[in-house]
Amino acid sequence: MDKNYLKIIGLHVLIGLLIFQFKILGELYFYGIIVYFFFKIISAKPSIKPIIIFQACGYVISSEIILRMTGSGLFYESSKYLLILLSVLGLIYNGFNKKAAPYIFYIILLIPSVYISLYSLDVSVNIRKAIAFNLSGPVTLGIIALFAYNIKVNKEQLLSIINNMIYPIVSLAIYIFIYNPDVSSVSTGTGSNFAASGGFGPNQVSTILGLGFFLMTVRYFYFSKTKILRLVDLGFILLIAFRAIVTFSRGGVFTAIIMIGVFLFFVYKQSEQTKKKQIKISMILFFMVGSITWILSALQTNGMIEKRYANQNAIGLEKEDISTGRTDLFVEEFNYFLNNPFLGIGVGRVKDLRFQTTGIHAATHNEMSRIIAEHGLLGIFAFLILLLTPLLFRLKDRSNVLFFSFYLFWFLTINHSSMRIAAPAFIYALSLIHIKNEIPSLHREQITK
């Protein structure tokens, strides 16, 4: 499995190189993902179909950004619809746990505001697209949570899921590095940097690279057993964390650091004394790499990244709003709720009303304020289902050492980047799985990619 992992990492380095050189290969990559995983799901034995579906979902959410960068896929939101399709397949093959019923209620709660939108959205707005765009993320989350609830996964299978999330992020990091190998040449200010983000949205790039930073850290501390694997993991931690930092979008980086801190706390707490000594030694190397990454980032950005994280502008003056305007958007959306408390203003209307009142096409950054504004009290109930169901699950099932890290990724990401990408939906679902201690000897070759 170790050699297989290194070979696939090498393949994805090559994929990143080739897609950068020949953008048309992005299309081939997209359809290749679909064909490969659907064939794998159909041909797999029933007992491991859910694991293959998890692998496929993990791969899809991590490849979403590089596909968007290259304009590949059927349409912009293809990844979310693929997750829905894969989750429905999982429900067909595996059924769903009756205790996951709150997620059915959650999806139902999203429906009434659709009817308000049909009568309230500006006629110049493509109503179907506005509704689909704003509901695709929440509906994806609800359906995949239905499928994932209390699915049993052993440690080896969990590693295969994590690996499948890592592979496309490696391709993305390579693509961005080739797109902009010299960060210093484009670091002239402290705003989010599109040039250092592969020419794409820094917020989305930072989010997915931050996830990669976390996943590689999990491999390094929890899964990698040989020196070669640990060195490879450390090398990619440096590369991925560096490229996440120099996007100048802080949300994904802060989220990753919090996830890593929580993960290390629980791993250390649950480890035996001999294992704790190994973790301490690993931490020393990890923090050394972290320090090198930050120093390299500061040098490559001409010191601008230090000002960015100190909330200063390019000349060193402190900015008044550390949230870069997100607080104003949150307050505005909360006011929409106060004026329309029962059913909200309707799906997709936040952006529409903002344009009507300010003339600015600014999308929401906060899923919590959006769902409350657009769905009213029903939105509050829907959000409470999302917030509380995993915590209630955790009270009965403490098997998942990554539970709080996964849960926090969802919560923190939707509060700085809404649900623009599919990753929060899938990572949320991973907080609902049960991790078995045993590692079965059968079918190992079928569950590892």
Average pLDDT by stretches of 10, the chain with 449 residues: 88 97 95 97 94 98 97 93 96 92 96 81 59 86 97 96 98 97 92 93 96 98 93 96 96 97 94 88 95 96 93 80 69 85 84 71 78 93 97 95 97 91 97 79 40
Beta bridge partners of residue 434, listed in sequence order: 152
Nearest CA among 370, 413, 432 for reference residue 258: 413
pTM over 0.85: yes
* C-alpha to C-alpha distance for 150 and 95, rounded to whole angstroms: 12
Q: What is the pLDDT of residue 324?
A: 60
Question: What residues contact 358, with CB distance under 8 A and at least 6 apart?
Answer: none
The answer to whether 229 and 239 are in contact (CB under 8 A) is no
* C-alpha to C-alpha distance for 354 and 381, rounded to whole angstroms: 25
The answer to whether 19 and 29 are in contact (CB under 8 A) is yes
Nearest CA among 61, 50, 148 for reference residue 424: 61
The answer to whether 65 and 172 are in contact (CB under 8 A) is yes
Q: What is the pLDDT of residue 433?
A: 97
Question: What residues contact 44, with CB distance under 8 A and at least 6 apart?
Answer: 52, 446
* C-alpha to C-alpha distance for 203 and 46, rounded to whole angstroms: 39
What's the structural domain count of the chain? 1
Which range marks the domain in which residue 369 is found? 2-447
Residue 377 tokens read as: 């009290």
Q: What is the pLDDT of residue 30?
A: 97
User: What contacts 24+ positions apart, CB below 8 Å, involve 18-27?
Assistant: 19/66, 19/70, 19/171, 19/175, 20/174, 20/175, 20/178, 20/179, 23/70, 23/71, 23/72, 26/66, 26/67, 26/69, 26/70, 26/71, 26/72, 26/73, 27/72, 27/73
H-only helix segments in 71-154 = 78-94, 102-109, 112-120, 127-148
Q: What is the pLDDT of residue 2?
A: 74
Nearest CA among 170, 242, 251, 257 for reference residue 420: 251
Instruction: For residue 232, give the amino acid letter.
Output: V
Beta bridge partners of residue 129, listed in sequence order: none
Helix (H, G, I), strand (E, B) or coil at 248: coil
